[in-house]
């Protein structure tokens, strides 16, 4: 049947379904973690490696961007952090012999899970034009090939330099410097598909695209609203922070179409009491329809405005702009429209309002459930309006908390990985390095795909990540990549992007976080920035997976010298030899990094400045925090259709599939499942266990199909469905993106379910 993994792929997609769970972590998580880790690393390496995660002299967990607590627990890792580590520290190896046995045509038929399970990449590999097999090449030859193709371009803007979010600050800084000396701002990154909407909304309203709370603020909050986020799976260490916040008296409102186990109850594996009973986290669950959040916050704002004394008038007078226009619009919010958009009852919204009014200090946390919608940017702006109304920004226990994904995605942006760099940043680069950086904007992810599709971009270079699988409209994206002259991937593990290539292709294997990085001046460390703007060192301890690996900074430095030649006055050799020399330059170019080397040597690192958080100063165009007023939007749902969100299972890290279970949701041994509300399933005549094709319908009239999904009756909000990414990326039209941020709309795809 279509949709089953190809013959020879040992993975059988045969989902088994049990009831969803109502608590996260606890004993089963520990057993599960150790089993998975030991399969990859063996017993001794498992013990040695996991003890080093997020310790002060250890490496930064390559899992998520959640910050480290001040007093680190002996085992400051979580189940999914341990899986991320095991995936990297695995003892399995992909050698040149592997590529002899598996031509590209064979790799292209394998599942992402199978590709990842083959182990760590060990040598640079080259796919020549017309060839079907990668062959081992030297690093010199690999750099020559990249230089040949870059030299042949008629403009530097025909090259695209993508970054995923695990790249260290040092590597990211060198990479953007190289791209800009080469002559382009074509620096798309995974953020374009992730928190771009948060950045767009926050820069405009508070003047900085980053969250305004620190860990201790969570502990001081009266109310924490967690909207559009599944921390039990994607940021498990956040559950300990929420538990601590609750112990200090905080209440939690969860806004989600799905009842996620982690937000229901958390069994802290680090306390005996936690293991037994656990803590109920959510006080009020708002089971919202997909895309209903803007309407919800708009109505809450109206209700706050109508409550005597609820608005922080002094804060609004002194620190904000645009209040009157916002208030006029918000007062027009309509109960009926809100109830339709959200699927909530009046009672639930009233209860939420009572909790909001009772709270002196409120924090809103969010992730992909808010950012990946067409109206994501106005939705997040409405969250900002909500916080501004009661002065909940720039004081302890209050603020905006967009929870980032990849462990250094925020740092990569800070380092200048951005297709639309600020003029001040380019000025600083120009002054420090003595070249004229390009000033016109570059391509983001969606625009890069279009440029490749249309033959306007010819070289794709990926610093980490899995561009082909992570991007929307899989068929379009794959065809676009195949049109390139050259595709290059700096990677730790094999993935689909190595199998869907340009005319020529290179795989450049690199060190992971866990590994020792030895350069001319001795052992190096790198730095990262977490979701709350804390910068700290990360030092790997393991022997590298192969003697042929180069670090990311070394790859960029050597490539830059080869491509730019002696004309480049940048000391690339010095940078490679001693990463402290890179940090000195970061200190000279990027505000907040003064004395970088000295400050990062302090245990735990340092916190970057954040004007709204630190001094209630808002560096926006108006010099104030901006209220905004936009029309309320929510997705339209034609009759007989469902609104599909594409999300993560518990056993995956983005396109890296660790296993085939989604334990908290009761799914085992398969990923091609679609979760449907039982009432919707009944009216559509879809029995639990029946098979359907997912067919997306969009205004371009193109029919996009993901075949062979098992229907699972599941308590999601009415009218909504859910299925895993990246299997469903084929359904997301390239042109279906968020206004302003251009992020693919991954959380609201209109689909019909066609019975098999
Ligand atoms: N183990 C693990 N950890 C990860 C990752 C991983 O894949 N695996 N990925 C990392 C990355 S890059 C990121 S960006 C983060 C992602 O972290 P999340 O954003 O938690 O990831 P998703 O699985 O996309 O989950 C989206 C959540 O939002 C809800 N939701 C969807 N649509 C809506 C909506 O319209 N309104 C509301 N209120 N809720 C909605 C969904 O039901 C789900 O609970 O996690 C990071 N951490
Ligand atoms: N439909 C749908 N699509 C989505 C999303 C969604 O929710 N729904 N989420 C979006 C989001 S939030 C994101 S962030 C993107 C993720 O997009 P990406 O960041 O591009 O994808 P990943 O799957 O995280 O990349 C995994 C690969 O990174 C490589 N890698 C791992 N560690 C390292 C390292 O240390 N160095 C280097 N050089 N390489 C390394 C490995 O080879 C691995 O195969 O996907 C987006 N796509
Ligand atoms: Mo992400």
Query: What DSSP line would sit under 98-158, residue for residue?
Result: HHHHS-HHHHTTS-HHHHHHT-EE-S-EEE-TT-SS-EE--HHHHHHHHHHHHHT-SSGGG
Distance CA 496, CA 109 (A): 9
Task: Give yes or no for residue 274 having a pLDDT over 70.
Answer: no
Task: Give yes or no for residue 50 having a pLDDT over 50.
Answer: yes
Instruction: Ligand 1, residue 290: give the atom nearest the CA.
Output: 35
Report which bound ligand comes closest to the CA of 165: 2
Report which bound ligand comes closest to the CA of 163: 2
Strands 504-509 and 486-491 turn out to be parallel
Q: Residue 355: what pLDDT?
A: 98
- CA–centroid distance, 470 to ligand 2, in Å, is 6
**70-74 contacts: CB < 8 A, separation 24 or more?**
70/215, 70/604, 73/270
Are the C-beta atoms of residues 416 and 429 closer than 8 Å to each other? Answer: yes
For the residues 268-294, what does the mean pLDDT come to? 87
State if residue 659 touches ligand 1 by the CB under 6 angstroms criterion: no
Q: Residues enclosing ligand 2, CB less than 6 A?
A: 164-166, 190, 193-194, 368, 372, 405-406, 463-467, 470, 490-493, 495, 510, 512-513, 552, 646-647, 654-656, 725, 728-729, 732, 746
- CA–centroid distance, 190 to ligand 3, in Å, is 6
Distance CA 16, CA 634 (A): 34
- Residue whose CB lies within 8 A of the most ligand 1 atoms, among 230, 234, 667, for a mutation test: 234
Task: Give yes or no for residue 554 having a pLDDT over 90.
Answer: yes
Are the C-beta atoms of residues 13 and 662 closer than 8 Å to each other? Answer: no
For the residues 158-176, what does the mean pLDDT come to? 98
For the residues 73-98, what does the mean pLDDT come to? 84
Sheet of strand 459-463: strand arrangement:
135-136, 125-127, 504-509, 486-491, 459-463, 159-163
What pTM was computed for the model?
A: 0.96
Q: Residue 6: what pLDDT?
A: 44
Q: Share the mean pLDDT of the chain.
A: 94
Q: Which domains does the chain have, with CATH numbers?
A: 16-88 (no CATH), 93-182+415-607 (3.40.50.740), 214-397 (3.40.228.10), 642-755 (2.40.40.20)
Q: What is the per-residue pLDDT across 668-697, written as a single tens digit (0 to 9) for each?
A: 999 999 999 999 999 999 999 999 999 999
Model confidence band, residue 731 (pLDDT cutoffs 50, 70, 90)? very high
Q: Residue 33: what pLDDT?
A: 77
Of 271, 496, 298, 275, nearest to 382 by C-alpha is: 298
Helix or strand (DSSP H, E) at 675: strand 673-676
Distance of CA 4 to the CA centre of its chain: 28
Distance CA 726, CA 512 (A): 23
Token pair for 433 = 């390095």
For the residues 73-91, what does the mean pLDDT come to? 79
CA dist 524 → 332, 355, 537 (Å): 58, 49, 10
Q: What is the per-residue pLDDT across 575-626, written as a single tens digit (0 to 9) for each?
A: 999 999 999 999 999 999 999 999 999 988 999 999 999 999 999 999 999 9
Task: Give yes or no for residue 260 having a pLDDT over 80.
Answer: yes
- CA–centroid distance, 191 to ligand 3, in Å, is 6
Model confidence band, residue 416 (pLDDT cutoffs 50, 70, 90)? very high
As beta bridge partners, residue 709 has 692
Are the C-beta atoms of residues 537 and 605 closer than 8 Å to each other? Answer: yes
Q: Residue 2: what pLDDT?
A: 35
């Amino acid at each position: 049947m279509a949709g089953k993994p190809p013959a020879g792929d040992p993975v059988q997609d045969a989902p088994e379904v049990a009831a969803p769970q109502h608590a996260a972590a606890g004993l089963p998580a520990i057993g599960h973690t150790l089993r998975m880790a030991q399969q990859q690393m063996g017993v001794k390496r498992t013990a040695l490696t996991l003890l080093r995660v997020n310790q002060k002299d250890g490496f930064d967990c390559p899992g998520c961007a959640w910050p480290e607590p001040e007093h680190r627990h002996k085992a400051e890792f979580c189940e999914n952090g341990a899986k991320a580590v095991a995936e990297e520290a695995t003892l399995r190896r992909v050698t040149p012999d592997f590529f002899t046995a598996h031509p590209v045509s064979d790799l292209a038929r394998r599942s992402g899970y199978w590709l990842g399970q083959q182990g760590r990449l060990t040598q640079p590999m080259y796919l020549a034009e017309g060839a079907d097999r990668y062959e081992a090449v030297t690093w010199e030859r690999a750099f020559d090939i990249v230089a040949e193709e870059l030299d042949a371009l008629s403009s530097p803007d025909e090259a695209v330099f993508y970054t995923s979010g695990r790249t260290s600050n040092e590597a990211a800084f060198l990479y953007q410097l190289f791209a800009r000396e080469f002559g382009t701002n074509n620096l798309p990154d995974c953020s374009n598909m992730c928190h771009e909407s948060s950045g767009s909304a926050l820069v405009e309203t508070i003047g900085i695209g980053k969250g305004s709370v620190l860990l201790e603020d969570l502990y001081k909050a009266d109310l924490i609203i967690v909207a559009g986020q599944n921390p039990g799976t994607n940021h498990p260490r956040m559950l300990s922070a929420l538990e601590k916040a609750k112990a200090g008296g905080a209440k939690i409102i969860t806004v989600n179409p799905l009842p996620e186990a982690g937000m229901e109850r958390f069994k802290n594996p680090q306390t005996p009491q936690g293991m037994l009973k656990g803590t109920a986290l959510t006080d009020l669950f708002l089971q919202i329809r997909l895309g209903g959040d803007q309407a919800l916050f708009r109505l809450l704002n109206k209700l706050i405005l109508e409550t005597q004394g609820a608005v922080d008038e002094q804060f609004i007078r002194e620190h904000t702009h645009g209040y009157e226009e916002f208030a006029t619009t918000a007062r027009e919010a309509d109960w009926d429209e809100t109830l339709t958009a959200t699927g909530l009852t009046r009672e639930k919204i009233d209860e939420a309002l009572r909790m909001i009014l009772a709270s002196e200090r409120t924090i809103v946390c969010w992730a992909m459930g808010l950012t990946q919608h067409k109206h994501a940017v106005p939705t997040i702006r409405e969250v900002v309006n909500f916080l501004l109304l009661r002065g909940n920004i720039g004081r302890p226990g209050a603020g905006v908390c967009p929870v980032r994904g990849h462990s250094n995605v925020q740092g990569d942006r800070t380092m200048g990985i951005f297709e639309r760099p600020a003029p001040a940043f380019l000025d600083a680069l120009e002054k420090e390095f003595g070249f004229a950086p390009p000033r016109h904007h570059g391509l983001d992810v969606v625009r890069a795909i279009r440029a490749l599709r249309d033959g306007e971009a010819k070289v794709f270079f990926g610093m980490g990540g899995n561009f082909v699988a992570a991007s929307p409209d899989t068929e379009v994206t794959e065809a676009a990549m195949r049109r390139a002259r050259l595709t290059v991937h700096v990677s730790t593990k094999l993935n689909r992007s190595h199998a869907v290539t340009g005319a020529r292709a290179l795989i450049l294997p690199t060190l992971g976080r866990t590994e020792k990085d030895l350069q001319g001046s001795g052992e190096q460390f790198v730095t990262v920035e977490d979701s709350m703007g804390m910068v700290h060192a990360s030092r790997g301890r393991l022997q590298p997976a192969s003697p042929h690996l180069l670090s990311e900074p070394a790859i960029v430095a050597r490539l830059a010298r080869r491509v730019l030649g002696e004309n480049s006055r940048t000391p690339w050799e010095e940078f490679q030899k001693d990463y402290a020399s890179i940090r000195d330059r970061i200190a000279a170019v990027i505000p907040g990094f003064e004395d970088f080397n000295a400050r990062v040597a302090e245990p735990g690192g340092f916190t970057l400045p954040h004007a709204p958080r630190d001094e209630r100063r808002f560096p926006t165009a108006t010099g104030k925090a901006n209220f905004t007023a936009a029309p309320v939007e929510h997705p339209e749902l034609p009759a007989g259709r469902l609104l599909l969100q594409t999300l993560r299972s518990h056993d995956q890290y983005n396109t890296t599939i660790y296993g085939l279970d989604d334990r908290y949701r009761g799914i085992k041994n398969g990923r091609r499942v679609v979760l449907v509300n039982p009432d919707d399933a009944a009216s559509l005549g879809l029995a639990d266990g029946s098979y359907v094709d997912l067919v997306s319908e969009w205004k371009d009239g193109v029919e996009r199909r993901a075949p062979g999904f098992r229907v699972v009756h599941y308590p999601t909000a009415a009218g909504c469905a859910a299925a895993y990414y990246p299997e469903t990326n084929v359904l997301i039209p390239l042109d279906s993106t968020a206004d302003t941020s251009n992020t693919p709309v991954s959380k609201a795809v209109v689909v019909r379910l066609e019975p098999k």
